[in-house]
């Protein structure tokens, strides 16, 4: 399956995700307002970081090595088993922390102990979250793209139903519960969908593990860990900085723009993760890698620019349809956010080559450095320009990131 076909299938999944994301955002905007949306944003980052720590950092490594060892069954099974053992051990530790220290965590990240019960519910559902993510990574590595995309569509639908039902009946607190339980439901759907696959047998995931498998997983997984920790840590920092130095309402406007931004590029990122990573992992010839990258650029860049242009021209309509008049401050954020998105996608394309080739040192260094530079630029420019300063910081940061990724590709890969 080539990138164009994968992009079309991913596009179907993305349409569902966009529609569900639009409705979910509208529901939260109506029942919680900008300040409530800021709380939702904090919770989403907590979920992402917690999933990362409990084993999601193995997801990209699992996809890469599942694809790489496609015909080396014993090596593949040992790798799956090693990943699963790490996940189970980490979940026990993190469950205990969230369950018994929920008050402290809620107070620090959500600025109130009122939502501590949400974190306790999350601690119970967390194992299902991470196991679902692990199985989807295996499915992607097996190149079962249709099943992978169908299950992602299912996740979007389940999230939509849960958030709408619970936020309608219980407001912000209902929306929070929906966010911390949706993937636990999808886990059982995933099991039902893959249980008849020839490669899915329980004993395949409980082979004897050796040190070499753990070294491979952790060496490569460091890339994912750095990426997710850096992105979520920096957004938490910027959101908190906006709350403390401007207001929760303006932080909610920034969060609304950030959510919209993430939705707009989801087609691109899904295609990259679904097709490019397994494909580039299998390619060894530098000329073939370069050809694949050029082909991806010719498809991805025009799509990204077109999406950004349409969103900018329709920004007033988008704000009223997706949010409400309370979010009018985000109108001034569109231009530079969308410019930044287009540049960021180009940087990702070159970055995926580094990831696929296991260039851990360069990938981790760039993720960490640019996370810190984003936070620094945001603090400086928010003080100088107010809310729009956060968007200036984003655009400047991703521009330097793109230049760095291009130079690394040119001199270290090509």
In the structure encoding, which two tokens stand for residue 375, read together? 């936070």
Span 388-400, average pLDDT: 95
Over residues 34-91, the pLDDT tens digits come to: 878 888 888 888 888 888 888 888 887 888 788 877 777 788 888 888 888 888 888 9
Rounded CA-CA distance 209/119 in Å is 33
Burial of 161 (0-12, 13-18, 19+ CB in 10 A): middle
Span 344-362, average pLDDT: 78
Question: Angle of helix 334-356 relative to helix 286-313, nearest 10 degrees?
Answer: 160
pLDDT for residue 176 is more than 70: yes
| pLDDT at res. 220 | 67
Q: For residue 393, name the pLDDT band (cuts at 50, 70, 90).
A: very high
pLDDT for residue 282 is more than 70: no
Q: For residue 1, name the pLDDT band (cuts at 50, 70, 90).
A: low
Over residues 299-351, the pLDDT tens digits come to: 888 888 898 999 999 999 888 888 877 888 889 999 999 999 999 988 888 88
| pLDDT at res. 309 | 92
pLDDT for residue 120 is more than 90: yes
Q: For residue 360, name the pLDDT band (cuts at 50, 70, 90).
A: low
pLDDT for residue 7 is more than 80: no
Q: Is 240 helix (H, G, I), strand (E, B) or coil?
A: helix
**pTM for the full predicted model:** 0.70
């Amino acid at each position: 399956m080539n990138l164009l076909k994968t992009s079309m299938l991913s596009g179907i999944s993305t349409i569902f995700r966009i529609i569900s994301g639009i409705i979910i955002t509208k529901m939260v905007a109506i029942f919680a307002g900008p300040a409530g949306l800021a709380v939702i944003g904090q919770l989403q980052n907590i979920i992402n970081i917690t999933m990362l720590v409990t084993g999601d950092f193995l997801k990209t490594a699992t996809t890469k090595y599942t694809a790489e060892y496609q015909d080396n069954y014993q090596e593949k099974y040992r790798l799956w088993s090693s990943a699963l053992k790490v996940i189970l051990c980490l979940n026990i530790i993190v469950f205990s922390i969230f369950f018994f220290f929920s008050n402290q965590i809620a107070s620090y990240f959500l600025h109130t102990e009122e939502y501590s019960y949400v974190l306790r519910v999350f601690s119970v559902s967390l194992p299902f979250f991470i196991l679902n993510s692990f199985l989807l990574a295996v499915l992607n590595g097996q190149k079962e793209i249709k099943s992978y995309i169908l299950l992602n569509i299912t996740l979007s639908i389940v999230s939509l139903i849960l958030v709408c039902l619970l936020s309608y009946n219980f407001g912000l607190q209902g929306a929070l519960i929906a966010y911390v339980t949706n993937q636990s439901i999808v886990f059982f759907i995933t099991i039902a969908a893959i249980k008849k696959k020839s490669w899915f047998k329980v004993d395949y995931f409980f082979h004897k593990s050796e040190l070499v498998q753990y070294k491979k997983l952790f060496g490569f997984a460091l890339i994912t860990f750095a990426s997710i920790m850096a992105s979520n840590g920096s957004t938490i920092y910027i959101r908190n900085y906006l709350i403390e130095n401007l207001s929760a309402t303006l932080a909610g406007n920034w969060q609304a723009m950030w959510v919209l931004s993430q939705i707009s590029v989801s087609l691109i990122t899904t295609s990259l993760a679904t097709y490019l990573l397994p494909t580039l992992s299998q390619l060894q010839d530098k000329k073939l890698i370069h050809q694949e990258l050029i082909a991806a650029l010719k498809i991805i860049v025009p799509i990204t620019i077109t999406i950004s242009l349409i969103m900018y021209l329709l920004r007033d309509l988008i704000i009223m349809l997706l949010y409400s008049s309370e979010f009018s401050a985000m109108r001034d954020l569109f231009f530079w956010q969308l410019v930044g998105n287009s540049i960021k996608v180009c940087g990702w394309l070159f970055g995926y080559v580094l990831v696929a080739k296991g260039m851990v040192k360069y990938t981790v260094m760039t993720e960490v450095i640019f996370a810190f530079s984003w936070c620094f630029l945001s603090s400086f420019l928010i003080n100088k320009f107010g809310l729009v300063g956060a968007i200036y910081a984003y655009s400047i940061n991703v521009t330097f990131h793109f230049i760095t990724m291009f130079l690394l590709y040119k001199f270290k890969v090509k």
